[in-house]
Every structure is written in structure tokens, then in C-alpha cells.
């Protein structure tokens, strides 16, 4: 008992009672004067602190440590994907900027050209359209003396021409100078800004005329050729309808787009003039498009966007009276597209308040009205009169005078009506050393830019193979002569001859031209588009807002040069931020 009491209670050095707590801790029940320091032995203090520490640790030993929760597998993957996406974006921006800078430097600093051998054949190319430029792009000009003749010293990216009419794209953004194209060829190419007026197939010469406004007089001369490629395209067809050429605006060249843009703003500003008659305002703001193909449909959509997004905000008083009408002689628009896309286009135009008049044949055009025959569901025809402020004629192709003149010289072309009939190698039937590409040629395909471009690329491969064939045949002839002169080297020379003959067989085995349809695209307004794209053995048809971005990316990739792509992209961004320019040029 005495030992237990001593274990539980002790006296301090001052006589104050102490009590031992559980775990070995000691509690002092007496208060110590602040001025007097308690005389605890240092060993006891150390033992007491260690004992409290052990007790505290034992009290919280059962509480598990707090570990931050690890993110799930899908969360980690998502974070990694986002991180790599940003890295790829940065790298793409850096790489794209570097490529644009390099391309600009390369365009401004081309390599030195050399003049081809004057003894080689002269290849004359007429025109600077899709077929001719595709030929020039892939042609090895060092194999021929190449001469280009065209009144237009630039290549025009025609699919975006409707966008130029409303200021969505500036016209110079879709133009590529021909001399810029020719300057990057290995061998020099001659270019004459002139119009070919006559082809003498017997003498193998072309008569060209320079109708420059500076000279004031027409200067004519002749250009001889050994091989001739005709890629002059076609002109607008009026089908003999009175008043079309005098009162309509066409949409085939840059000057046409500029004239339409001026006419649109002329109609708008005139309609907004003070005290204008109500009927006259309705007429001026009625825009009529004749032709339901891709050009007519895209122009109608661009025109509606122009008024809804820009004119309506700037001139709200007359914006509600604006009207667009699309006239088509066939039962529906976009006949080259699938039925579901045709229905989607027509329903979209109905939402955008674009009126479609199908089975409507224009008979006469005056300065203010259109007279047409409409075929009803019962087959009966009804005459209607449509007043208009702007009339855009976007249908049909007609032969150019030089094509008509050549066809009249060739008896084999007497039955051809739509252009120069060509064979499977695009050789003009009944002619010698003359080829034709594009809208002026009849090869059994639709007259589109896609067809003309593939025809030009085919001719480039054909001409390159022809030059290689002549070179290999000449080399074989020289080796054969060497074999007869130096019989001691027969084995080596014979091996070289066999190698040349194998190359010759591969080169001569060129297949006829075959068109590969890549698909059709059309913009229908309100940031929507339709696409009919080839997919394996069938077609993939789709439309909507996502198709609009596909349409833009496809046209952007098809632009001729990086310079065009950059300018077109900047024009789109500029129009989106600041709107279209409504100034009248």
C-alpha cells in the first residue's frame, strides 16, 4: 500500500503534490510562482515529453493517413489528349507559318531558267483555263519549246467567283498570274497576251491578234507549231433569246463579277432614294437568276446572305422588300446531285425566302422584265412576266469563234455541235497533232472544271512520255550503231539496249484518258452546303452546316497556290468580322 501511494503521488522539490497520469505523464497540482522557476530535473523533463509524445501517437494510430485520390483512367487519358492536342496545334501553327514564309520566299526568288533546244518541237497552248494550266503545271517544259497564247494573263479559280459578286472574297484573291506560273518551270516558256483568231491546220500556224487599248490598233501575227493544245473554253450561251446579251449579267469572268457587284449596289441605292414609287422599289430589289446549276444556286445563296447579314443592318427601311428568284427550265435545280440533296436545297431555299421557278423557259428579256413560259403539272403552258432589277444569266455554254472556224475546216467535225470531238487520247478527230481539253472539247463528260483539270494533267503525262520515248529510241539507235562499230564491248552495250527497251515498253503502255469523278459541291446559303462525294463504288450525299465547312476546306485546298489560299482565308475572316463591303465601285 505504501509503495502504491508512492507510485501514484509524489512531492515536488517544493512539497507540492504530483499525480501520475495514464501513460506516464505527471500532473502538478500546485501553482508555481512566476518569479520562481520549478526545480525539475532535466532527465524527468525529457522523460515526461517523450511519454506524452508516445501517448499522443498511440491515440491517433488507428486513423489512416490522408492520400489524395488519383484521377480515373479516362480522366487521365482525356488530360493527355488535351495536352497533346495543344502541342499539335502549336506545332501546326509554327509549321504552317514557316511553310508560308518559305513559299513566299520561293515565289519571289525562283531558280534560273534555261532556254530549251530550238531544234525541239514547238508546243503551243491556247488558253489559261483549268485544262491549260493543269497541263502547264505538270509538263516538263525542257522537252519542248512551249508557247502560251491567251487574252487573259491569269488563271481564275471559277468555283469561288459567285463569292466575289457580294464582296465576300476579293477578286484578286482567286487570280494567279500566268507569268508567275511559267517562271517556276525549269525551261523558259514564251507567253503572248493575245487572242487566237484562226488556226491553219494544213500549214500548222496560228494567227493571233493583240487588241491592246494602248496601241489603239489591232496587231496580227502568226505563230508556227508542231503540236497544238486548244483549251480556250466556251462563252455564254444565250440560245438565241432576244435581249439576253443586251440586258443580262453573265458570271464567267472577273469583269462579270465586278459588273454584278456594281449593279447590286446600284439597285439598292436607287431603291433607297427619296420618294421612290413602291412598285419601282419592288422591281429594283427583285434579283433574278436564270440557271439552276451550281453557279446559279451558289450565287442566289450568296446574294441572300449579303442582304440578310449586311444590307438589312445598314438599310433596314427597304430590306424586307428584297427578293430573289431562281429560274430553271428543268424540273429541278442541281440536276447532277442526288434526289435527297435536291430536296434539301429546295427546302433550304424556301426557308431563306428564295423562290424557285422550275419548268420555266425564258422567251424574251427586256431592260425591266422577263417573259417566260411555265409548264404546269397538267402539261399546259402559261405565259408570265417577271420584273427585275438585276438579271444574272448562269446557264449554258456556246462555242468560241476560233473553235467554230477550226471545225469548219475538218470534215470529221461536221456532225459535232457542242465542241471539238476528240478520241480517247484527246486528239481532235480528223486533225493532225492537235489536242483539245476543257469546255471546247467533247469527250463524253460534263463540261466542268474538274474534267478539264484531269484532261490537262493527262496530256502532260502523255507529252512527257512522248518526249521520253523519242529520247530512248534515239539512245537505242546510237547504242546499236556503237555495237556494230565496237564488237568487243558487245555484252555491255547489249545490256544497255535491253534496259532502254524495257523502259520504252513501260512508257509506251499509257492508258487512254478516263475521268475520275471526285464529287460535287454547292453552297446554298445560310452557312449551309450540299456535297455529293464519290465513296468506294457509290456516292456519299450529305448537307448542312458541317458540310459548309467541308465545302470551304475543299475549295481552299483546290486553290492554285499557297498565296491564293492565304488570301481567300483572310477574306473570309475579314468578312466575318467586319462584314461585306457595300461601297459601289
Model pLDDT, residue 3? 46
Cα separation of 113 and 183, whole Å? 8
- The C-alpha atoms of residue 294 and residue 273 are separated, in whole angstroms, by 34
| pLDDT per position as a tens digit, 26-56 | 444 444 444 444 444 544 444 555 554 555 4
End-to-end CA distance of the chain: 120
**pLDDT at 103 (0 to 100):** 79
Is the pLDDT at 555 greater than 50? The verdict is yes
User: Are 336 and 381 in the same domain?
Assistant: yes
Same domain, 420 and 495: yes
User: Is 485 a residue whose pLDDT tops 80?
Assistant: no
Residue 439 domain flag: yes
113 within 8 A of 158, measured Cβ to Cβ:
no
**How many CA atoms lie less than 13 Å away from 394 in the CB half-sphere?**
30
Answer whether residue 478 shows pLDDT above 60. Answer: yes
Last residue of a domain, which of 59, 91, 107?
Answer: 59
* SS3 assignment, position 440: helix
Helices 130-138, 449-485: inter-axial angle, 10-degree rounding:
30
Q: Specify the pLDDT at position 292.
A: 94
pLDDT digits (tens, 9 = 90+) for 114-151: 888 888 999 999 999 999 999 999 999 999 999 999 99
**More confident position, 23 or 451:** 451
Q: Of 32-46, 314-328, 486-500, where does mean pLDDT reach its minimum?
A: 32-46
- Strand 528-535, strand 538-544: pairing: antiparallel
CA 164 to each of CA 193, 238, 254, 367, 492: distance values in angstroms, whole numbers, following the listed order: 24, 23, 8, 24, 64
Q: Are residues 127 and 223 in the same domain?
A: yes
pLDDT the model gives residue 46: 46
pLDDT at 452 > cutoff 70: yes
User: In 3D, which of 370, 279, 377, 368 has the Cα closest to residue 326?
Assistant: 370
Phi, psi of 205 (to 5 degrees): -135, 155
pLDDT at 434 > cutoff 60: yes
Mean pLDDT of the chain: 85
**What's the pLDDT at 55?**
52
**Residue 324 near residue 355, CB atoms below 8 Å:** yes
Domain end position, chosen among 486, 508, 530:
508
Q: Are residues 327 and 414 in the same domain?
A: no
Q: Are 289 and 299 in contact (CB under 8 A)?
A: yes
Residues 6+ apart with CB under 8 A from 565: 556, 557, 559
Split into its structural domains, the chain has a count of: 3
Percent share of the chain, pLDDT over 70: 81
- Final residue of a structural domain among 508, 525, 557: 508
The reply to whether 448 and 566 lie within a common domain is no
Q: Is 450 found in the same domain as 332?
A: no
Domain that holds residue 552: 244-398+517-578
CB 129 within 8 A of CB 451: no
336-364 average pLDDT score: 95
Cell of 109: 526568288
Cell of 41: 530535473
Within a domain: residue 269?
yes
| Pair 283, 244: CB distance under 8 Å | no
Residue 82 lies in a domain: no
Residue 475 has a pLDDT of 66
Q: Which of 49-53, 209-213, 345-349, 496-500 has the highest mean pLDDT?
A: 345-349
**Could you report the per-residue pLDDT of 221-244, keeping only the tens digit for each?**
999 999 999 999 999 999 999 999
Q: Sorting pLDDT into bands at 50, 70 and 90, what band is 75?
A: confident
Alpha carbon of 403 to those of 74, 168, 171, 343: distances in Å? 67, 35, 28, 38
Nearest to 391 by CA among 253, 289, 284: 289
- The pLDDT tens digits of the residues spanning 192-226 come to 999 999 999 999 999 999 877 776 667 889 999 99
> 536 and 572: one domain?
yes
Chain segment 155-181, per-residue pLDDT in tens: 999 999 999 999 999 999 999 999 999
Span 57-68, average pLDDT: 54
Average pLDDT over residues 286-292: 96
CATH number at residue 471: 3.50.50.100
CA distance 131 to 443: 13
Cell numbers given for 226? 508542231
Strands (E) in 201-256, as ranges, are: 205-210, 219-224, 227-230, 235-236, 249-250
Do 256 and 371 lie in one domain? The reply is yes
Residue carrying C-alpha cell 446600284: 266
142 falls within a domain: yes
- Is residue 69 a part of any domain in this protein? no
**Secondary structure (3-state) at 31:** coil
- Mark whether 388 and 250 lie in a shared domain: yes
Provide the pLDDT for residue 507. Answer: 61
Question: Which pLDDT does position 469 carry in this prediction?
Answer: 80
The confidence band for 4, taking pLDDT boundaries of 50, 70 and 90, is very low
DSSP 422: B
> In this structure, are 574 and 489 located in the same domain?
no
Considering the domain boundaries, does residue 98 fall inside one?
no
Per-residue b/e over 286-311, b at no fewer than 16 CB within 10 Å?
bbbbbbbbbbbbbbbbbbbbbbbbbb
* 497: CB partners within 8 A, 6+ apart: 476, 479, 480, 483
Identify the three-state secondary structure at position 503. helix
Does some domain include residue 585? no
Q: Residue 584 pLDDT > 90, yes or no?
A: no
Does residue 19 have a pLDDT over 80? no
Range of lowest pLDDT (85-89, 225-229, 284-288, 473-477): 473-477
CA atoms 487, 491, 497, 498: torsion sign:
positive
What grid cell was written down for 55? 501517448
Helix (H) or strand (E) holding 284: helix 278-284
Which residues have a Cβ under 8 Å from the Cβ of 370 and sit 6 or more positions away? 288, 290, 327, 362, 364, 385, 386, 388, 391
pLDDT of residue 90: 81
Please check whether residue 267 lies inside any domain of the structure: yes
- The three-state secondary structure class of 487 is helix
Residue pair 65/55 in contact (Cβ under 8 Å)? The answer is: no
Angle of CA points 317, 322, 328, to nearest 5°: 180
The answer to whether residues 173 and 572 touch, using CB atoms and an 8 Å cutoff, is no
Residue 515 has pLDDT above 80, yes or no: yes
Q: 25-34, 83-92, 349-358, 521-530: which range is least confident on average?
A: 25-34
pLDDT tens track for 405-415: 999 999 999 88
Task: Kindly give the residue spans of alpha helices, DSSP state H, lying in 509-561.
Answer: 545-558
Least confident range from 113-122, 288-297, 434-443, 484-493: namely 484-493
Could you give the CA distance from residue 431 to residue 475 in angstroms, rounded to a whole number? 30
The reply to whether 257 and 381 lie within a common domain is yes
Q: 98 vs 224, which has greater pLDDT?
A: 224
Give the mean model confidence (pLDDT) for residues 401-428.
Answer: 93
DSSP annotation of 559: S
Within 10 A of 218 (CB to CB), how many other CB atoms are there?
12
Distance CA 194, CA 501 (A): 43
By three-state DSSP, how is residue 13 classified? coil
- Residue 500 vs residue 577, higher pLDDT: 577
On whether both 286 and 182 belong to a single domain, the answer is no
List of residues 6+ apart from 106 with CB closer than 8 A: none
Q: Is residue 549 pLDDT above 70, yes or no? A: yes
Amino acid at each position: 500500500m505504501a509503495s502504491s501511494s508512492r507510485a501514484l503521488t509524489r512531492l515536488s522539490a517544493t512539497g507540492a503534490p504530483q499525480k501520475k497520469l495514464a501513460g506516464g505523464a505527471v500532473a502538478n497540482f500546485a501553482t508555481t510562482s512566476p518569479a520562481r522557476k520549478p526545480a525539475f530535473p532535466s532527465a524527468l523533463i525529457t522523460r515526461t515529453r517523450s511519454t506524452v509524445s508516445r501517448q499522443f501517437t498511440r491515440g491517433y494510430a488507428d486513423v489512416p493517413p490522408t492520400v489524395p485520390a488519383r484521377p480515373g483512367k479516362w480522366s487521365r487519358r482525356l488530360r493527355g489528349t488535351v495536352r497533346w492536342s495543344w502541342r499539335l496545334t502549336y506545332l501546326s501553327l509554327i509549321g504552317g507559318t514557316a511553310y508560308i514564309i518559305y513559299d513566299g520566299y520561293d515565289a519571289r526568288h525562283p531558280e534560273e531558267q534555261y532556254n530549251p533546244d530550238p531544234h525541239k518541237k514547238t508546243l503551243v497552248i491556247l488558253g489559261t483555263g483549268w485544262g491549260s494550266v493543269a497541263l502547264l503545271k505538270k509538263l516538263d517544259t525542257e522537252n519542248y519549246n512551249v508557247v502560251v497564247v491567251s487574252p487573259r494573263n491569269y488563271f481564275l479559280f471559277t468555283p469561288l467567283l459567285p463569292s466575289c459578286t457580294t464582296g465576300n472574297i476579293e477578286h484578286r484573291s482567286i487570280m494567279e498570274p500566268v507569268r508567275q506560273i511559267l517562271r517556276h518551270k525549269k525551261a523558259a516558256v514564251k507567253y503572248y497576251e493575245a487572242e487566237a483568231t484562226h488556226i491553219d491546220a494544213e500549214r500548222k500556224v496560228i494567227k493571233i491578234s493583240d487588241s491592246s487599248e494602248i496601241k489603239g490598233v489591232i496587231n496580227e501575227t502568226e505563230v508556227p507549231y508542231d503540236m497544238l493544245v486548244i483549251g480556250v473554253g466556251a462563252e455564254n450561251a444565250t440560245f438565241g433569246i432576244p435581249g439576253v446579251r443586251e440586258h443580262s449579267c453573265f458570271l464567267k469572268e472577273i469583269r462579270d463579277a465586278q459588273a454584278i457587284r456594281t449593279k447590286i449596289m446600284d439597285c439598292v441605292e436607287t431603291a433607297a432614294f427619296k420618294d421612290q414609287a413602291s412598285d419601282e422599289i419592288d422591281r429594283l430589289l427583285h434579283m433574278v437568276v436564270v440557271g439552276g446549276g451550281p453557279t446559279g444556286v451558289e450565287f442566289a445563296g450568296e446574294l441572300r446572305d449579303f442582304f440578310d447579314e449586311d444590307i438589312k443592318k445598314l438599310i433596314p427601311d427597304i430590306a424586307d422588300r428584297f427578293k430573289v428568284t431562281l429560274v430553271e427550265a428543268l424540273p429541278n435545280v442541281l440536276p447532277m446531285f442526288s434526289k435527297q440533296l435536291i430536296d434539301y436545297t429546295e427546302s433550304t431555299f424556301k426557308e431563306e425566302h428564295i423562290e424557285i421557278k422550275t419548268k420555266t423557259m425564258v422567251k424574251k428579256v427586256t431592260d425591266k422584265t422577263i417573259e417566260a413560259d411555265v409548264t404546269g403539272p397538267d402539261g399546259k403552258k402559261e405565259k408570265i412576266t417577271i420584273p427585275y432589277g438585276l438579271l444574272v444569266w448562269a446557264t449554258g455554254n456556246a462555242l468560241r469563234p476560233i473553235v467554230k472556224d477550226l471545225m469548219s475546216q475538218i470534215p470529221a467535225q461536221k456532225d459535232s455541235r457542242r465542241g471539238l470531238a476528240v478520241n480517247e487520247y484527246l486528239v481532235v478527230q480528223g486533225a493532225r497533232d492537235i489536242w483539245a481539253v476543257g469546255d471546247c472539247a467533247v469527250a463524253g463528260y460534263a463540261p466542268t472544271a474538274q474534267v478539264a483539270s484531269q484532261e490537262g494533267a493527262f496530256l502532260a503525262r502523255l507529252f512527257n512520255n512522248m518526249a521520253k520515248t523519242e529520247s530512248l529510241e534515239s539512245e537505242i539507235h546510237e547504242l546499236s550503231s556503237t555495237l556494230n562499230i565496237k564488237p568487243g564491248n558487245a555484252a555491255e552495250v547489249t545490256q544497255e539496249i535491253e534496259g532502254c527497251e524495257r523502259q520504252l515498253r513501260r512508257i509506251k503502255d499509257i492508258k487512254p484518258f478516263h475521268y475520275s469523278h471526285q464529287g460535287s459541291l454547292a453552297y446554298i446559303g445560310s452557312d449551309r452546303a450540299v456535297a455529293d462525294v464519290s465513296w468506294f463504288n457509290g456516292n456519299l450525299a450529305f448537307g448542312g452546316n458541317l458540310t459548309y465547312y467541308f465545302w470551304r476546306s475543299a475549295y481552299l485546298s483546290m486553290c492554285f497556290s499557297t498565296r491564293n489560299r492565304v488570301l481567300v482565308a483572310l477574306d473570309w475572316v475579314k468578312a466575318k468580322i467586319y462584314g461585306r463591303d457595300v461601297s459601289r465601285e
